[in-house]
Amino acid sequence: MTEDRDDDRRAFRQAMADVRRLRHDRANTRPPPPGPVPRQKLADERQVIDELLTHEIHPDMVETGEELFHARPGVQRGVLRKLRRGHYRIQDELDLHGMTVPLAHAALREFLAECRRHGYRCVRVIHGKGQRSSNRGPVLKSRVDRWLRQWEEVIAFSSARPADGGTGAVYVLLRA
């Protein structure tokens, strides 16, 4: 019988040879920390979605007569002041009057690409004031505002002086 006990003890010790004593008797119940958030990827995806939705109508976005203005970070104040005052020579212009939204979008994209190819720095885009847009407000004006903000080649834009179209047109400053 003692032999059976000795055999059992040996077998037990052999089975437990790799076992280590725990320092505490509590189980770790915390979930693992969340993984990193890919912020740049999310921002890029959000931008793509915004660009795909450029043809939706947002009539409250810009009211008739409201001045448009936008500048990318890093553009000097003096440059913006000259742009707003119309001190830069207008090298070309595009009139979007009477165009549908898809046609105006294509025309503006082609116009800006052509201006970049010619090395133009300052151009004027006439979008109109939306006075015939009933109570929906100026459709092309709000779209032009949004489109110009999306395109990297546009570093700044501002509503024109009254002599150049006022709030129915914008001066657009293009990247060199």
Contact between 112 and 153 under an 8 Å Cβ cutoff? The reply is: yes
Distance of CA 112 to the CA centre of its chain: 19
Q: What share of the chain has pLDDT > 90, as a percent?
A: 40
The CATH T-level fold of domain 39-174 is: Ribosomal Protein S8; Chain: A, domain 1 (3.30.1370)
pTM across the whole model: 0.61
What distance in Å separates the CA atoms of residue 71 and residue 75, rounded to the nearest whole number? 7
pLDDT at 155: 94
pLDDT in tens, 4-61: 788 888 999 898 888 887 777 777 788 888 888 888 888 888 887 776 665 454 444 4
pLDDT in tens, 144-173: 999 999 999 999 999 999 888 888 899 999
Give the model's confidence band at 137: pLDDT under 50 very low, under 70 low, under 90 confident, else very high: low
pLDDT at 64: 44
pLDDT at 88: 93
pLDDT at 119: 93
Buried/exposed 97-128: b ≥16 CB within 10 Å, e otherwise: eebeeeebbeebeebbeebeeeebebbbbbbb
- 118 is written with which tokens? 């010619």
